[in-house]
Amino acid sequence: MTTDSWVPGSADGGFGIENLPYGVFSRPGELPRVGVAIGGFVLDLAALSAAGLVDDRRCFASGSLNAFMVAGRPVWEANRARLVELLTDEGFREQVQPCLIPVADVSLLRPFEVADYVDFFSSEHHARNTGRILRPRSEPLPSNWKRLPVAYHGRAGTVYPSGTPIIRPSGQRRTPGEPEPTYGPSTRLDFEAEVGFVAGVPSVPGRGVPAGAFRDHVFGFVLVNDWSARDVQMWESQPLGPFLGKSFATSISSWVVPVAALEPARVSPPVQDPEPLPYLRCAEPWGLDLHLEVLINGQVVARPRFADMYWTSPQQLAHATVNGAPLRTGDLFASGTVSGPDRDQRGCLLELTANGDEPLELPDGTKRTYLEDGDTVTLRAQAPGAKGSRITLGEVTGTVYPAQPAEPV
Of 3.40.1190.20, 3.40.50.1370, 3.30.460.10, 3.90.850.10, the CATH number of 116-401 is: 3.90.850.10
Catalytic residue among 125, 126, 217, 319: 126
Pairing of strands 376-384, 332-334: unpaired
The binding site for substrate comprises 121, 135, 233, 337
The binding site comprises 119, 121, 135, 192, 194, 226, 233, 246, 250, 337
Domain with CATH 2.30.30.230 in the chain: 22-109
* pLDDT higher than threshold 50 for residue 2: no
End-to-end CA distance of the chain: give it in Å, rounded.
Answer: 61
Nearest to 118 by CA among 323, 387, 283: 323
Annotate 108-176 with three-state secondary structure: EECCCCCCCEEEECCCHHHHHHHHHHHCCCCCCCCCCCCCCCCEEECCHHHEEECCCCEECCEEEECCC
Cα–Cα distance between 95 and 252 in angstroms, integer? 33
Cα–Cα distance between 75 and 134 in angstroms, integer? 47
Question: How confident is the model at residue 1, as a pLDDT?
Answer: 40
- Is 126 among the catalytic positions? yes
Domain with CATH 3.90.850.10 in the chain: 116-401
What CATH code is assigned to 22-109?
A: 2.30.30.230
- Considering the chain, what percentage of its residues have pLDDT values greater than 70? 99
The residue-averaged pLDDT of 176-199 equals: 95
Find out whether 117 and 327 touch, Cβ atoms under 8 Å.
no
- pLDDT (tens digit, 9 = 90+) per residue, 232-274? 999 999 899 999 999 999 999 999 999 999 999 999 999 999 9
The binding site for Ca(2+) comprises 119, 192, 194, 226
